[in-house]
């Protein structure tokens, strides 16, 4: 069984740093979702071409997630890796501000896909080890940080677009990410110019959990144990279908609001923020309930309601009810995210947390790579609202996959 001490005050302080960094890793993609309709209009892109932009980003993430998780488990220096991930997310958006060709845009979003998917295999296992008996709650708070970034970015960008161009916004936008990367490096004990005579309390707390990596032979042994985990494939597949729903929704919902409902950029930002606000409220509730009532029961409820709401949205398009249903969808769709992450950590060897989360997010990115281009083709042929039928279908499949996952985690192995 786990021998980790109970979480200390320093662990909570350290968690706050990680949550803030997570908010910024979501700030950048949320900014891009708002700018994508403008970029598409400037470059004369079709729905399929816009969908292909996100396909390239998620495909790059799918290819980089598993190697990223392996790097986390073998390198062990999580402070450095989280800072690198945060910088790598923001910098390609700066380059995007100078792009004039479609292929340049695709290269930039692929770089974002690589960087954004290095964060989760690093931060999620670390939080799971810091809070071993409250994984659902800890990861829901981490998810709330992502919801904050997702919610504030559309509001901020919607207001900034009234005075600035999208190119000016992506250039300015790199500053907070770079600053936070330096901040993480310093307080997580990885910055060389930190005072050598002083022992940072946050550094001490992190050092207890982040470890120093492992040898290749030890990693291979852990990988074999990971691949034998009961329900591993079904859990990753379910998370992939859930992410297909989320990624496609974030890509095409702003387009629907702008083109079909004729909302201004400010109101599009407000509605997208509403989606994230609902997820922000849902995360700690779902995390706590999954810790006390079990992962499967809460997860299936979240997926079931999400599918029903998506079907209702196809009948309520263009009305005020449609906007209300967006908030309901955000509540249940985002509530599922920390539950799946906690379930994955419980089901896998402790020293393989980075690889396990990398595998989960790799499958998610693979699903997200397929969904936007497929939805774009459907939208070009049958209209934007038709894409929402695809979303309902994918979330229903996610729910069906949950049935194949063992209800409880297997007993902890000696390596955990």
pLDDT tens for residues 226-270? 777 777 888 888 888 888 888 888 888 888 888 888 888 788 888
Nearest to 375 by CA among 264, 246, 274: 246
Whole-structure pTM value: 0.67
- Residue 208: both structure tokens together: 């207890």
| Confidence at residue 328, expressed as pLDDT on a 0 to 100 scale | 87
User: ∠ CA 124-240-130 to the nearest 5 degrees?
Assistant: 10
From residue 295, how far is each of 103, 402, 405 by CA, in Å?
A: 42, 10, 10
The kind and range of the H/E element at 205 are helix 201-210
Look at residue 189 in the predicted model and tell me its pLDDT: 55
Q: Which residues of the chain have pLDDT under 70?
A: 1-8, 75-76, 189-215, 407-416
Cβ-contact 351, 415 below 8 angstroms: yes
The residues near 196 (Cβ < 8 Å, ≥ 6 apart) are none
Number of other CB atoms surrounding residue 163 within 10 Å: 8
Q: Which residues contact 377 (CB under 8 A, 6 or more apart)?
A: 47, 48, 51
Which residue spans within 57-138 are E strands per DSSP?
A: none
- pLDDT value at residue 200: 45
Coil, strand, or helix at residue 39? helix
Task: Name which CATH class applies to 9-402.
Answer: mainly alpha
Helix H segments across 260-294?
Answer: 265-293
Q: Please say whether the beta carbons of 21 and 148 come within 8 A.
A: no
The answer to whether 248 and 387 are in contact (CB under 8 A) is: yes
Q: Which residues contact 403 (CB under 8 A, 6 or more apart)?
A: none
| Cβ atoms 59, 113 nearer than 8 A | yes
Surface-to-core class of residue 9, CB atoms within 10 Å of its CB (0-12 exposed, 13-18 middle, 19+ buried): exposed
């Amino acid at each position: 069984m786990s021998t980790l001490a109970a979480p200390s005050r320093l662990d909570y302080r350290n968690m706050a740093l990680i949550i803030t960094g997570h908010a910024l890793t979501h700030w950048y993609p949320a900014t891009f979702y708002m700018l994508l309709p403008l970029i598409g209009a400037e470059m004369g892109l079709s729905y399929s071409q816009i969908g292909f932009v996100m396909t390239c980003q998620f495909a790059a993430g799918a290819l980089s997630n598993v190697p990223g998780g392996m790097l986390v488990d073998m390198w062990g220096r999580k402070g450095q890796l989280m800072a690198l991930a945060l910088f790598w997310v923001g910098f390609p958006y700066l380059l995007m501000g100078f792009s004039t060709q479609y292929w340049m845009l695709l290269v930039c979003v692929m770089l974002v896909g690589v960087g954004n998917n290095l964060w989760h295999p690093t931060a999620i296992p670390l939080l799971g080890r810091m809070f071993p008996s409250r994984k659902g709650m800890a990861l829901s708070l981490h998810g709330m940080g992502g919801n904050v970034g997702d919610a504030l970015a559309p509001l901020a960008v919607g207001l900034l677009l009234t005075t600035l161009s999208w190119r000016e916004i992506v250039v300015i936008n790199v500053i907070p990410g770079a600053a936070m990367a330096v901040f993480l490096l310093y307080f997580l004990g990885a910055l060389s110019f930190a005072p050598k005579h002083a022992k940072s309390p946050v550094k001490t707390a992190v050092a207890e959990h982040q470890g120093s990596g492992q040898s290749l032979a030890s990693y291979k042994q852990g990988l074999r144990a990971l691949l034998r985990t009961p329900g591993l494939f079904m859990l990753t597949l379910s998370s992939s279908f859930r992410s297909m729903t989320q990624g496609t929704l974030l890509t095409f919902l702003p387009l629907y609001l702008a083109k079909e409902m004729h909302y201004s950029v400010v109101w599009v930002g407000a509605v997208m923020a509403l989606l994230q606000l609902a997820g922000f409220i849902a995360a700690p509730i779902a995390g706590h309930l999954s810790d006390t009532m079990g992962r499967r029961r809460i997860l299936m409820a979240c997926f079931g309601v999400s599918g029903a709401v998506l079907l209702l949205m196809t009948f309520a398009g263009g009305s005020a009810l449609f906007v209300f249903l967006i908030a309901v969808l955000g509540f249940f769709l985002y509530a599922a995210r920390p539950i799946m992450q906690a379930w994955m950590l419980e089901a896998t060897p402790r020293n393989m947390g980075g690889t396990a989360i990398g595998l989960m997010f790799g499958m998610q990115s693979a699903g997200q790579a397929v969904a936007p281009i497929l939805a774009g083709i459907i939208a070009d042929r049958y209209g934007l609202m038709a894409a929402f039928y695809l979303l309902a279908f994918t979330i229903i499949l996610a729910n069906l996959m949950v049935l194949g996952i063992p209800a409880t985690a297997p007993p902890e192995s000696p390596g955990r």
